[in-house]
Amino acid sequence: MTKPGSNLNARRHRLDRLLPILLKISRDNVLLLLAQQRITVDGTIVTKRELIVDGFSIITLDGVVLQGGKATYLMLHKPVGVLSATIDKCHRVALDLIEHPSRSTLHIAGRLDLNASGLLLLTNDGRWSRQLSSPDTGVQKIYLVTVKNILDQDYVAAFDKGMYFPSENITTRPAGLEILSEHTAKVTLQEGRYHQIKRMFGRFRNPVLQIHRIAIGGLRLDADLPAGASRVLTDLEVTLARQSLTPVMCLAGRSHSVRHIPYMDNLL
């Protein structure tokens, strides 16, 4: 299983340390090439050896591309029964559903349980995925949850307070819970503890029947994307995923708050 952020494209290097690897020459020869202004990074001639680059920087020597990595960001509508991983011996994994030239470089940016469905993001940009996954960034994940027993306001108060899990000696961050019907709720988390949603409802001895993630940050699952399908994110969506804001739906190049889109009411 690939660890988030482990892809080489995400690693940062000093230019004078990367070029000897790419060119298989000494650092002294690299400094000579820089002094001769024969190296460009992202279209600009560079002479500073301490310049920081990563796997997505386009580096050339005399116009010949030495490295031309490109960041890839995908949205997958994960079906139930597919593992949030890139490889597994026992289960079908998310990467099995991806058809993209950069497929082999991708990792999961925020897992979903095997029996959960919904929005799953894949990328080869480790810094971006860490921003989405770290609780310190406050990026919200929103889920539609169906439970067996009837919900009431006691759940709302308990989720808002946070719950202590003695086995890990941790207290969860306050979570949002909005009751949509007797058996369904919208849950908003800012962290992703192991089976957190199931365990929080488990405090009430209320079995979880379905979990479906509808949003990460300001990015919402594309309503036109069928289960098992994926697509490339737009530049705007890449930015929205990092934001801890009310999710928006992008229509005709404009951003609209979900609460202003009547036909989205049934999804919330």
Contact 78, 94 (CB under 8 A): yes
Catalytic residue among 88, 113, 136, 160: 113
First-last CA distance in the chain? 33
Active site residue 28: no
Please work out, in degrees rounded to the nearest 5, the angle formed at the alpha carbon of residue 112 by the alpha carbons of 110 and 118: 100
Please work out, in degrees rounded to the nearest 5, the angle formed at the alpha carbon of residue 148 by the alpha carbons of 146 and 149: 115
Residue 74: burial class (beta carbons within 10 Å; 0-12, 13-18, 19+): buried
Contacts of 152 (CB under 8 A, 6+ apart): 179
Dist CA 74 CA 212 (whole Å): 18
Dist CA 128 CA 242 (whole Å): 8
Angle between helices 27-35 and 15-23 (to 10 degrees): 110
Q: Residue 95 carries which DSSP code?
A: G
Please work out, in degrees rounded to the nearest 5, the angle formed at the alpha carbon of residue 223 by the alpha carbons of 96 and 228: 15
DSSP bridge partners of 167 = none
Dihedral of alpha carbons 190, 232, 228, 264, sign: positive
Supply the residues annotated as catalytic.
113
